[in-house]
A and B are shown apart, each in its own frame.
Chain A
Amino acid sequence: MAVTTTTDTVVADPAPAATRAGFRFLRGGKTRAGLLILAFFVVLAVAGPWLAPYDPDAMSDQLLRPPSAGHWLGTTQTGQDVLSQILVGTRGVLVVGFLAGVLATALSVLIGVSAGFLGGAADEVLSMLSNIFLVIPGLPLIIIIASFVEDTGDLLIAAVIALTSWAWGARVLRAQTLSLRRRDYVEAARATGESTWRIILFEVMPNLTAVIASGFVGTVIFAILSEITLAFIGVADISHWNWGTVLFWAQSNQALAQGAWWWFVPAGLCIALLGTALSLINFGIDEFVNPRLRTAPGASRTVRMRVGFTPVARTGGQDRPEPPAFTPVARTGAPTAPGEPGKEHQA
């Protein structure tokens, strides 16, 4: 996706002064932690099969052993090495997650942006379509579709997940596009005779990058959870290792009743860790889009005020609908109450 390449243009609109602001969201501690964990799993996904000390399918006579020096995460009922299974399975998890994320994001951009930009009957039809997909519960539908298919490979699972998870992104993108399409610079582009598709691609899309990115990360989280769930239920191909498959075998071999915690705890922790990493990245994007959410030190307390004390005038918030204003707040700088107010304005 063209996420990184177009980021600079995004910020050029709201904050012209900040040239490198496109990467500002990388500065937050949360985002960095998220990216670090994600990078760790990407490395595992690439190198997992080489790092794995054993063949994940190979059985041995070490049955159901707790973690030891030989088997860091213990062994299964048939003597397979749990660590190797998880290492080898990482690739499947990430590949399906990201593939589904890319497919779903492409669908949501296509449908959401066209609906928002074209308007009229096209908008009606496309919004209806995305609203329908939004309220139909996704997981049962995925289970149904996946169980009807004979050959459930990674690509197919990713496609099914994408097909059921694009609607939320499409809805958000449509709303955002609606607010963009009447902006002056879009009108200007239209007046100079640029084609509709050029306007969408080069004027509107760059300003949607943050929304698209956050939707993408959200979909990846959902896709990973769905995929693991499918494997756990036994709908997906269980001969193909991923973390869900590990849990499937653990569950079907009564790992719980035998107290073999090392069999199912690591896989679940990996899922949770990966999901947390992606959520943290999404928080970073959210805070980048909505600066009010940033937890700046000192900004935590709202200004406490007593009657007769004029509060400090703030400059923000012009572009949101004003609530019924019978405000004692000194916006213009005229001091209305005794005390030492108004100095901040001159400063």
Chain B
Amino acid sequence: MKYVLQRAVFYAATAWAAITINFLIPRLMPGDPVEALMSRYQGQLDTSAIASLKALFGLDENQSLWEQYTGYWCHLLDGDLGLSFTFFPTPVGEVISQSLPWTLALVGVTTLISFLLGTGIGVYSGWRRGSWLDGLLPVTTFISAIPYFWLGLIAIALFAVEWQIFPAAGGYDNSLVPAFDWPFVSSALYHGVLPGVTIVLSAVAGWILGMRNMMVTVSSEDYVTVAHAKGLSERRVMFSYAARNAVLPNISGFALSLGFIVGGTLLVEMVFSYPGIGYQLFQAVGAKDYPLMQGVFLIITLSVLAANLLADMAYALLDPRTRKEA
């Protein structure tokens, strides 16, 4: 319990740091992004938008940095992330809440699949070291060195343009209205196949490598030898003795790699024009929509932190040592 509490405090501190970074970036940067924006949207910005811009970027020169900071927090706690420029009168919060479910579903499912698949393959290839499975290593290394977005480009070129099996862009058929009925859900699933497979393909290699290395290290431990000597079946020794211990670092690695997975997913969304948060970020970057960019960054960071906290709790459940040390 104490351990979980400690982690929660740590993530709260990290969230505070992330929000502060988000606050400081536009203020520390050389040049004045706001001025450029004001001139670009001359006459289009109403007073409330200007007020929220001021709070967001510290335009108001009468205020001290500290007053700006507290004002920023007040806006945040009210759930006010400012107004988006690309979708003009829409608040950033609304834009994000529309795209967040798409990203969460895509990241959630693909991460789970690649973790299970990668760990499984890693267990086998680490256990049967020197077998044909070792030939898989250079291949996975090569695939993991490919940027996510390029794999996405290839996937589109092959399966959407060349053979036209899957759609090239979007999250669902445009003729459908988003609702929880079969045509819409099936269309969403169909559109999710190509981005999902792309993510799994590039993310799985890391799990395989990590798990294989741990399996190799663990399989020469004494307790594995004992299990063999007791005459237990190969399968039992592999799963209940070696893999069970080897999987622990992979779980803590899982938490840390979440940031990378989310980053990779953002890229895949950009390539596939998938209506998630990454595509939103991509559009915001193109349109210099600073409020939306900052909002997206904040939401991504907070989700990653929450997922990290969950992974830490799972780790505490699985590994008694963390509970003892804490």
A95 and B282 CA atoms in complex are apart in Å by 26
Given A148-B33, A327-B222: A234 touches B286 (CB 8 Å cut-off): yes
A234 and B267 CA atoms in complex are apart in Å by 12
Instruction: Give chain A interface residues in 291-324, CB to chain B under 8 Å.
Output: 292-293, 295, 297, 299-307, 311, 316-317, 322-324
By size class, the interface of chain B is 35 or more
| Chain B residues with CB under 8 A of A268 | 146-147, 150-151, 153-154
| Chain B residues with CB under 8 A of A279 | 141, 144-145
Is A136 an interface position by the 8 A CB rule?
Answer: yes
Is B43 an interface position by the 8 A CB rule?
Answer: no
The reply to whether B281 and A140 form a contact with Cβ atoms under 8 Å apart is yes
Is A259 an interface position by the 8 A CB rule?
Answer: yes
Which among A49-57, A126-134, A182-190 touches the partner chain? A126-134
A135 and B300 CA atoms in complex are apart in Å by 11
- Expressed in whole angstroms, the minimum distance between the Cβ of A191 and any Cβ of chain B is 31
The reply to whether B282 and A233 form a contact with Cβ atoms under 8 Å apart is yes
| Chain B residues with CB under 8 A of A325 | 222
Per a CB cutoff under 8 Å, which of B22, B25, B219, B260 touches A138?
A: B260
Given A144-B297, A300-B131: A272 touches B226 (CB 8 Å cut-off): no
The reply to whether A276 and B141 form a contact with Cβ atoms under 8 Å apart is yes
By size class, the interface of chain A is 35 or more
Interface of chain B: mostly helix, strand, loop or mixed: helix
Nearest residue (CB) in A for B134 is: A295
The tally of CB-CB contacts under 8 A between chains A and B is: 201
The reply to whether B145 and A328 form a contact with Cβ atoms under 8 Å apart is no
| Chain B residues with CB under 8 A of A140 | 262-263, 266, 281, 296-297, 300-301
The reply to whether A247 and B10 form a contact with Cβ atoms under 8 Å apart is no
Is B47 an interface position by the 8 A CB rule?
Answer: no
| Chain A residues with CB under 8 A of B138 | 276, 280
The reply to whether B282 and A299 form a contact with Cβ atoms under 8 Å apart is no
The reply to whether A275 and B146 form a contact with Cβ atoms under 8 Å apart is yes
| Chain B residues with CB under 8 A of A324 | 223
The reply to whether A300 and B14 form a contact with Cβ atoms under 8 Å apart is no
The reply to whether B146 and A261 form a contact with Cβ atoms under 8 Å apart is no
Is A264 an interface position by the 8 A CB rule?
Answer: yes
| Chain B residues with CB under 8 A of A132 | 13-14, 17-18
The reply to whether A225 and B285 form a contact with Cβ atoms under 8 Å apart is no
| Chain A residues with CB under 8 A of B151 | 268
- Expressed in whole angstroms, the minimum distance between the Cβ of B308 and any Cβ of chain A is 5
The reply to whether B263 and A295 form a contact with Cβ atoms under 8 Å apart is no
- Expressed in whole angstroms, the minimum distance between the Cβ of B195 and any Cβ of chain A is 15
12 example contacts (A-B, Cβ-Cβ < 8 A) are as follows A132-B18, A139-B259, A139-B262, A144-B294, A145-B25, A234-B286, A247-B150, A274-B145, A300-B130, A302-B220, A316-B220, A317-B222
Interfacial residues, chain A to chain B (CB-CB below 8 A): 128, 131-132, 134-141, 143-145, 147-150, 168, 221, 225, 228-229, 232-235, 247, 250-251, 256-257, 259, 261, 264-265, 267-268, 271-276, 278-280, 283, 286, 290, 292-293, 295, 297, 299-307, 311, 316-317, 322-329
